[in-house]
């Protein structure tokens, strides 16, 4: 993490801590909440991406894919206290896929690859609920996040071994949850989260080394990433201990030449423990 990034992260944390410390009346959530989120998410790829192996301009052919159907996308538990709540959350993204090929001058062959990338995030955060209006609330969120990004590039019809890259980022997550009552058992719900992390990308590449032939070469680079998540939905209270929420969700990873964004409908099951 460079000095500028460290100063930026410190300023963000200090600002949000100041907001949390301001003496404003707040609501008290008395029971823990478990959320299980599923989604039918599409992957939209950026043509000008240039991160890791997601660099279409470096290949002669680039065919992205990887749209998935309804699947588990996250689990979150909120544990209340007198003033603040503790949030433990895990999220996953649809697997990103691409098929690409390029002409290899040393061998005179066209080399084809399949690229797969998986993303998971882990959050440890605090929230502070505030009551607004009749039956509404808003909860600022601040905490730390850990991002795990795994890339696998597999050569087709070649003696090359698979290439791997593992990116591990530590950073900060911030955002807000909000809800407003529309009817007796119906609420409007929204969520906005921004994650920023900094760390290293460690890669193992297959390269044609003079005198040694195809050789596995390792490299390491520093990187930082921003991902953000916005969602809007309706929440129905089926029972005092069970709610169902459905809506639209957009998650973005295109900032600073990132490769993709993710959007689609989600369905969330909420349990009051």
pLDDT at 74: 96
Q: Say what the pLDDT of residue 6 is.
A: 58
49 in Cβ contact with 59 (< 8 Å): no
Return d(Cα 267, Cα 265) in angstroms, integer.
7
**Is 234 in contact with 247 (CB distance < 8 Å)?**
yes
What average pLDDT does this structure show over 27-42? 83
Q: In this predicted structure, what is the pLDDT of residue 247?
A: 97
Confidence band for 135, pLDDT divided at 50, 70 and 90:
confident
Q: Would residue 264 be called left, alpha or beta, if left means φ above 0 and alpha means ψ between -120 and 50 degrees? A: left
Tens-digit pLDDT profile for residues 164-189: 999 999 999 999 999 999 988 999 99
* Residues near 121 by beta carbon (within 8 Å), at least 6 away in sequence: 89, 90, 91, 92, 145, 146, 147, 148, 173, 195, 227
What would the pLDDT profile of 92-124 be if each residue is shown by its tens digit? Answer: 999 998 888 877 766 667 778 888 999 999 999
Find the range with the poorest average confidence among 14-23, 31-40, 122-131, 214-223: 14-23
Q: Give Cβ neighbours of residue 199 (< 8 Å, ≥ 6 apart).
A: 1, 147, 167, 168, 169, 170, 222, 223, 224
Please name each of the domains of the chain with its CATH number.
3-272 (2.40.128.100)
Instruction: Give the pLDDT mean for 201-230.
Output: 79
Position 24 pLDDT exceeds 50? no
Coil, helix or strand for 136? strand
What local confidence, expressed as pLDDT, does residue 143 receive? 95
Higher pLDDT, 161 or 57: 57
The DSSP letter of residue 107 is: T
Q: Judging by beta carbons within 10 Å of its beta carbon (0-12, 13-18, 19+), is residue 147 exposed, middle or buried?
A: buried
Average pLDDT over residues 195-224: 79
> In the predicted model, what is the mean pLDDT of the chain?
84
Per DSSP, helices labelled H in the chain are 3-21
- pLDDT at residue 7, as a whole number: 61
Q: Is the pLDDT of residue 27 over 60?
A: no
Question: Pick the residue with more confidence: 256 or 111?
Answer: 256
């Amino acid at each position: 993490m460079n000095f500028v990034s460290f100063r930026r992260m410190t300023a963000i944390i200090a600002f949000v801590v100041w907001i949390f410390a301001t003496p404003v009346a707040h609501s008290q959530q008395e029971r823990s909440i478990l959320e299980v989120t599923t989604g039918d998410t599409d992957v939209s790829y950026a043509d000008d991406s240039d991160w890791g192996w997601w660099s279409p301009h470096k290949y002669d052919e680039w065919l992205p894919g990887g749209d998935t159907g309804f699947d588990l996308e996250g689990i979150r538990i909120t544990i209340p206290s007198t003033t603040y709540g503790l949030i433990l959350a895990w999220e996953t993204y649809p697997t990103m896929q691409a098929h690409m090929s390029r002409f290899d001058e040393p061998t005179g062959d066209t080399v084809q690859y399949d690229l797969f990338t998986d993303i998971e995030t882990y959050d440890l955060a605090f929230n502070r609920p505030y009551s607004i209006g009749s039956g509404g609330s808003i909860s600022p969120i601040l905490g730390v996040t850990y991002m795990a990004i795994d890339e696998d590039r597999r050569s087709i019809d070649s003696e090359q071994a698979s290439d791997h890259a593992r990116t591990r980022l530590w950073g900060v997550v911030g955002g807000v949850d909000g809800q407003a009552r529309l009817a007796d058992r119906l609420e409007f719900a929204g969520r906005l989260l921004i994650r920023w992390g900094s760390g290293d990308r460690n890669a193992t590449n297959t390269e044609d080394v003079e005198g040694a032939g195809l050789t596995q070469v390792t490299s390491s680079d520093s990187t930082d990433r921003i991902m953000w998540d916005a969602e809007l939905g309706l929440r129905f209270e089926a029972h005092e201990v069970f709610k169902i929420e459905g809506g639209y969700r957009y998650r973005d990873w295109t900032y600073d030449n990132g490769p993709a964004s993710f959007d689609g409908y989600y369905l969330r099951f909420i349990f009051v423990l």
